A and B are shown apart, each in its own frame.
Chain A
Amino acid sequence: MTWVNDIVQGVMLGGLYALFACGLSLLFGVMKVINLAHGDLAIVAAYGAVGIVALTHMPGAWSVLLAVPIFAVVGYLVQRTLIQASLNRGVLTTLLVTFGLSVVIENALQQFWSANARTLQIGALATDHFNIGSQISIGYLDLVILIAAVAVLLGLQYYLSYSKQGRLIRAVADDREAAQLCGADYRHIFGIAAAIAFGTVALAGTAYGMYTSFYPSSGSSGFLVLFAFEAVVIGGLGSLWGTLLGGIALGVVQSIGGQIGSTDQVIAGQLLFLVVLAAMPQGITGFRRAA
């Protein structure tokens, strides 16, 4: 029965990973930017939420409602300035720039917030749970995060498939020059895609801040960016459903690994990643591309 519980916990952890990964997946899918600062941006959002709570005294969970739109605006601006400028200089430049951004963010956070671990206080929601049977325990927060992840991915998929703007994003992702010849300013469309990606990363970051304690280097040394990459690769590049499945697969395997030995959690996830990369490099949904 404890195995069943592990799988359940893994699925919910996977929801958080999928939330992290979908912004990464979107940035790569649309503009071929590998955002190495992705995990750090999530942590910035978590610190931002702590700051918002300190300033406004609003309940911790509500800070999400401010953090996400603020990050979306920041995403648009960062895309139109920094990322676009590096895109114009080649794909490798974006890798260097986002790596540099990651270093800058971590050091700036350390400067302003010190290296102490923090959490985003949300009161009883952080620990409340209900039981199914005697072994399975489901935290309300975990469940909310999983539902949020599914809702975000579902909404994003629907938006990309059926909205006018989503269609333009897909068109620009396919061929930006041809999109220009259709009258679309691809840099603006990139900005919109980045705004969405940053919005999801803010959601993921604040969720992470509620879920566990974080510190300035959580984004990279806490493996957040790595897990997000793994979720994307396991699921299959460019597929949002794949990202959800990849996140869940990673979460479940890590959870089971953690049961075998408390230090085996990360290595179990890495093994899954390597096996998928070797056996089906297109990812588990590689045969059909969704977005």
Chain B
Amino acid sequence: MTDSSPLLEVRELTVHHGQLRALDNVSLSVFAGDVFAMIGANGAGKSTLLRSVCGLHRPTSGSVLLDGTDITGLRPEKRVAAGIVMVPEGRRLFPSLTLEENLQVGATYTREGPWSIARVYELFNWMPGRRRQLAAQLSGGEQQAVAIGRALVANPRVLLLDELSLGLAPVVVQRIYDTLPELLATGVTVLLVEQDVSQALRVASRVHCLLEGRTTLTGEPAGLTAESIEAAYFGLASAAAPGPWTGDSARTLPEESR
């Protein structure tokens, strides 16, 4: 797999939020068929990376390439046409539109591909019965499914999933992650950000750990030990860069090795 060229490549990306350097010289390669998981504590720069890949943040330096083509200067809507579609953090459905209208908006600028609204209705079979309901009236888990459906109907080559599990019950999160194999079967490549490290390790073919905007670890889950992930997550290996050791991040630490 690594012999071929990457589908999505991030080269030496540096992004600033005002004075703050949110990403510092981060590089990564996502290959077709990957489930590439970004992990890291709050504020590590995971979401910034995803937002830079989909075009919502302009990098200070570095580049983003899709299939070898530099797309760093493209606006987000142009990247959708190129095949990069994001499910944003917090779902961001159109609250005053119905479930079906949300999907229709997602399908407006679709590429050729296997996904259609009908196909999404097959994947989430509770949806057709509630298609006329306003998105604002759906539960968080339902909204997350609609957000995924809205991205899928654009037929992405790379699907970006930002914090799917945020604010959702574990059982709901599990149900959403259970649909992942079906997405992959249609040829979608996934780049996801996940706070829940054990969840990320379960689904990912590659993990990439960020700490304060820098890469601290990258590799396949099978080749990584819990200790090395813990060290990368909290920055224990380098005393120069202590991790943000908060109660919240400690809770998302993987409890056991895979």
Contact = CB atoms under 8 A, between A and B. Distances in A.
The majority secondary structure among interface residues of chain A is helix
**What range describes how many residues of B lie at the interface?**
20 to 34
A289 B76 CA distance: 30
Given A177-B92, A181-B54, A170 B97 contact: yes
B96 A184 contact: no
Interface in B61-108: 75-77, 80-81, 85-86, 88, 92-97, 101-102, 104-106, 108
A168 interface: yes
Contact of B93 (A164, A178, A180): A178
B154 interface: yes
Interface string B91-132: 011111100011011101110000000000000000000000
B46 interface: no
Contacts of B102: 171
Given A181-B54, A181-B88, A182-B154, A174 B96 contact: yes
B105 A184 contact: yes
Given A167-B104, A168-B108, A181 B76 contact: yes
Contacts of A170: 94, 96-97, 101
B150 interface: yes
A181 B80 contact: yes
B56 interface: yes
Interface in A130-188: 164, 167-168, 170-171, 173-175, 177-186
A192 to B, nearest CB: 13
B107 to A, nearest CB: 9
A175 B95 CA distance: 9
Nearest to A161: B101
Nearest to B153: A182
